[in-house]
Structure 1
Amino acid sequence: MKTNFFFYKKKYSIDPNGIVICKSYSNIALIKYWGKHNNKIQIPLNSSISFSLGKVYTVTRLIYKEKKKMNLSVRVFFSGKEKTSFLPKILEFFHRISFYCSYLRYFNFIIETYNTFPHSSGIASSASSMSSLALCIMKIEKKLVYSLKEDFFLRKASFLARLGSGSACRSIYPGLVVWGCHQSIKGSNNLYAIPYPYEVHSIFTKIEDTILIIDDKPKKILSTKGHKLMNHNPYARERFKCANKNMNRLISILKIGDFQEFGELIEHEALTLHAMIMTSRPYFLCMKPNTLNVIQTVWDFRKNSKKNVYFTLDAGANVHLLYPIQEKTSILKWIYSDLFSYCKKIIESFCLSN
């Protein structure tokens, strides 16, 4: 697929200054993306699918002011404090996307952002932050080019977000979102995400996601490095095959509404992701002792109660518990009584529907 779709060929009418604000949700991948092509443009080695999360989001306020010199000038504030440590990644992002958004060179930028959840702790903070920034940038483009269609706006926002953080391209949309080319999903591609295009059983339209914050400190190993390690992981090729097969399984599961099959699949995906992390060179651990305590407690509770509660993990220690809204009262009561002691914080959220 060619990227020239994202060039706007007419001249921009420059708006001298202004402010745009966007909110973007974090997402939790069901089929995990781990590993990308050995380049700098965030192309995944397997397709992925995620739910966007209703109460877990980033809000970004982007202030822009016209200037005469054509160079990039950016300041970043996180939760009210200037963060120079964020600048290298932000500047790299702006340099990457300036090829597709030439108007960026005409402005100075101030980025003010905050999360409703801990930063860099394995809850896709880069996904929601980069996607909210990409949406802000597209809002500026919309001001400059009034004729932009909604479909183009969202596709390009997803395309741009991907250049900042791969999984960020999925956070542009609510509900189930697919990124990465998969032969069984029409319209799927590596350049931007798409809303899941097929039938979804009603049980999957109202899923609760309770997030157990086991560790609220920034991860010692960032996902960027973890992805690179897949290039030499001896099990990587089989992992990519497995992910694609699991996507086919999930398509069927989402249609027929088998929550048990759904749960077992997402747990398998989570454990496979961490198996890849533990078998890389150098190898490392994202889980903490209480992560394992939670997993074992979930398994025991499910066996004894027959409740539909299943876990998944991103590349961190924190645990997402997914379950149908119909079982919320009893499961939430159990979470606070049996799992609270393992956590520093519990975030009650839900999966957005398409």
Structure 2
Amino acid sequence: MKVGLLGAGRIGQVHAVSIAGHPESTLAAVSDVHAPAAEALAAKFGAEVRSSDEIIADDSIDAVLIATSTDTHSGLIEAATAAGKAVLCEKPVDLSLERARACLAVAQKNGQPVMIGFNRRFDPSFAALKSAFDAGEIGKGELLAVTSFDPGPPPMAYVKVSGGIFRDMMIHDFDICQWLMGGTPETVTAKASSLVDPEIGKAGDFDTAVVTLTYSDGRIATIRNSRRAAFGYDQRIEYLGSEGMLEAKNMLENQLVKSTAAGVTGAKPMHFFLERYMPAYAAEWDAFMKAVASGARMPVTLEEGVAALAVAEAATESAKTGKTITL
């Protein structure tokens, strides 16, 4: 499969490794609004530098991976599917739920496969938890707790265009809840503050948040996010069921545990997502490739991407108004 990569920033560079490293895909072309970034990445993998429009219009390119700024995602999904290409697009679908719904309607009409890049579903530990749950090992799921703490906040220039913590950061956790709970919640209640950096608050965003999701049958999910964890990248899931509990714990820098008279110590969690989730990105791309080749349902559909954005918008409204939002 010949692939065009739209976007050569940090996440585009991660995806380039997966595309080029897969035995059945070739990174054919790269685009970016910042030409030096596209040139450097293309040179590294022997690809051409072209504009996004040129890549989409090229009939020899079978698929595109969209890793551009979020406000361009919907338009590129529409254009690529109209050109007959399979699409893997980074999350979120858009900054606007209304625009994302319009994109969904166009993509459905165009009839090409679209997958949204919620890479955490493909993390080996999280995938094992999902498999154990689906196998009935803890009975009926009742209470889900998701923790996601970054080691530090992103640059303010990014914060100002990110769409806010719920659309940018916690949307991963909304998708995890959708994946494990089997659908969208009935109500969304969010509490949020700016404790890490006052500039984030001045920009109208939050850096510390807790969200409670309730489902129509009474099940509950809680999500905790923070832009600051001094000890590293904290990524955990606990799923309590009628017959037990499943836990996916942090990936550590190493597995050494030192036990002495002074105490018992171990390593910190991996520092950030680039270390923590590289295997997940490779597995995500492999799952996309297999779905395109077989014609199977995409592992993370565009509809699921829109649903996660709907929860993010509800959480944003709840945090700002203090009200519980019914979806």
Fold equivalence (TM over 0.5): no
Relative CO higher for 1 or 2, CA cutoff 8 Å, sep ≥ 6? 1
| TM-score class normalised by the smaller sequence | under 0.3
TM-score under structure 2 normalisation?
0.27
